[in-house]
Amino acid sequence: MASVPTENKLTSFSIPFKACSIPFVPEYTNLRTTAGEFYPGESPPSHVFLCRDGSTLYTGVLECYLACPARLNPPGFEYGPIPKLADFSQDTADSVFGKPQAEAEFNTYKMHDKAGNTFLLDLTFLDNRLTRYRVRTKHFRIAPDWNSIDEKTDAKKG
């Protein structure tokens, strides 16, 4: 497990607003939802930089495809002190994404992009470790699927 940055470093850091450093490869976009639906590769993804509610600092990046739910903090960006999703604890998530709204089974973090569009990050924790997440917004064409956290690939569909 990586060292845990201080809350001050996490709350004051902003992900640099620049293009992804990993080139687009169509095979990379093949995704399977939890329902078993398969979406073949399509056009390059769009990347949305997210700010926690009430802030202008970028604390998350979404990789979005037209037919698939979003992927949080994909590789190819400079995340500085923000750890990989596999290393997120409840306290880390609160420092990075802001104060959550606690639901029965998950915590919801209200985020926004530069244009002011709202994105809701639903995160579940088990033994203080992030186990899965989903992204909700009115801008997606399909209902959001949960993404499971995998320590090797950091996030996978499922």
43: pLDDT strictly greater than 80: no
Residue of higher predicted confidence among 46 and 62: 62
pLDDT at 27: 45
* 32 assigned to some structural domain: yes
Parent domain of 119: 7-16+25-157
**CA–CA dist 9, 80 (Å, integer):** 9
The single-letter code of the amino acid at 147 is N
* 41 assigned to some structural domain: yes
* 2 assigned to some structural domain: no
Per-residue pLDDT, averaged over 39-45, amounts to 58
* 117 assigned to some structural domain: yes
Rg (CA), the chain: 15
Domains of the chain: total: 1
Residue of higher predicted confidence among 103 and 148: 148
* 108 assigned to some structural domain: yes
* 79 assigned to some structural domain: yes
* 114 assigned to some structural domain: yes
For 52-83, how does the pLDDT look when each residue is reduced to its tens digit (9 = 90+)? 989 999 999 998 876 666 889 999 899 999 99
For 82-119, how does the pLDDT look when each residue is reduced to its tens digit (9 = 90+)? 999 999 999 999 999 999 998 788 999 999 998 898 99
**CA–CA dist 127, 44 (Å, integer):** 36
The set of long-range contacts for 63-66, using a CB threshold of 8 Å and a minimum separation of 24, is 63/20, 64/140, 65/29, 65/31, 65/39, 66/42, 66/141
pLDDT-derived band of residue 5, with 50, 70 and 90 as boundaries?
low
* 1 assigned to some structural domain: no
Per-residue burial over 13-48, b = 16 or more CB atoms within 10 Å of its CB, e = otherwise: bebeeeeeeeeeeeeebebebeeeeebeeeeebebb
pLDDT at 19: 59
26: pLDDT strictly greater than 50: no
**Mean pLDDT, the chain, whole residue set:** 79
